[in-house]
Amino acid sequence: MSLEILGTVKKTVGAKQTLKAMKRNEVTQLYIAKDCDAQVVAPLLACASEMGIPVDQNSTMAELGQACRIKVGAAAVGVLA
């Protein structure tokens, strides 16, 4: 799935919001920035692995933020079901 889709789909932006949505079994795809702090995304990666959620780690924080149409970078974005 390309980043352009993030501008139009229902999503969560940010590590905390995305982790909460993942625990509620609402996330179908996870995007994690390759340049963010590993401690921030470690719980997300663990949860994604446990729940079988596909993870894309090919984008930077700036690219994810721009794709989500926000003015700041995003460490994580979850596409909602």
For the chain, how many structural domains are there in total?
A: 1
Please list the alpha-helical segments (H only) found in the chain. 15-23, 38-51, 61-67
How high is the pLDDT of residue 63? 94
What's the CATH number where 62 sits? 3.30.1330.30
Give 16-40 pLDDT, tens digit per residue: 999 999 999 999 999 999 999 999 9
Q: Which amino acid is at 1?
A: M
Which range marks the domain in which residue 26 is found? Answer: 3-80
Give 53-76 pLDDT, tens digit per residue: 999 999 999 999 999 999 999 999
**Rounded CA gap, 79 and 9, in Å?**
7
Q: Say yes or no to pLDDT of 49 above 80.
A: yes
Q: Give the residue from 8, 51, 39 showing the smallest Cα distance to 30.
A: 51
